Amino acid sequence: MSTVIQAVDLSKVYRSGESELVIFDGLNLEVAQGEQVALVGESGAGKSTLLHLLGGLDTPTKGAIYFGQNNICRLPADELAKFRNRELGFVWQIQSLLAEFTAVENVMMPLLIRGLAREEAEPIALARLNEVGLRNRAEHRAGELSGGEQQRVVLARALVGDPRVLLADEPTGNLDFRTGEMIMDLLQDLHRSRQLTSLHVTHNLNFARRADRTLTLERGHLTSSSLEQGRNYV
């Protein structure tokens, strides 16, 4: 199975004056094609920082991030933006929908940014909303949707451009247990049906146990985990 994501000797250090905060140093990671990986660890361990780096939303202090043979750390800003738009789907804990737009308008946004005309983008967006069970809510504005519905719109938007990789940061973190379970089921179904490569940051150990592999980020190092019953990552 081929490697889709590879981080090599990755470091992230924040500096303020003469002091520095080392999030991680010399971190290595490989994610295979079609794999679903859960990333766990205590708050402040650097999980979201790592996800932002892998998604090209931040730059490492040193090291390289490869998608296939392509080191995204060397891409110019415009090429990196195109890469994110075409290759990656993002799902965040806080539903980052544009309140003044309808569900379908939010979902089609990445395609409009890509340069598609509205008449081309809208049927694709409607198909993705149908895929997450929200075709009948397409014309509702974000504020008219429940938290679970908003997260499904976010997921539809993440998939509208047919990405190869899905990156999710606490996708169930703001949801009640029942709604969170529904979102987890949906993420798994879409991972399989779309043959995605997925990396999910989560505190939900039930969600993490469903993944093909679980990694723990602790004290700047990644280790493969067998999740302990009762251990809480909060």
Overall number of domains in the chain: 1
Query: Residue 161: its pLDDT value, please?
Result: 95
**Residue 213, beta-bridge partner list:** 37
- For residue 119, the enclosing domain spans 3-224
Which CATH number characterizes residue 116's domain?
A: 3.40.50.300
Query: Residue 92: its pLDDT value, please?
Result: 83
Query: Residue 95: its pLDDT value, please?
Result: 63
Does residue 173 form part of some domain?
yes
Alpha-carbon distance 53 to 13, whole Å? 12
Point out the residues of the chain with pLDDT beneath 50.
Answer: 228-234
Does residue 94 form part of some domain?
yes
Does residue 148 form part of some domain?
yes
Does residue 104 form part of some domain?
yes
Alpha-carbon distance 58 to 149, whole Å? 29
- pLDDT digits over 138-192, tens only? 999 988 999 899 999 999 999 999 999 999 998 888 788 888 888 899 999 999 9
Query: Residue 225: its pLDDT value, please?
Result: 67
Does residue 229 form part of some domain?
no
Query: Residue 232: its pLDDT value, please?
Result: 41
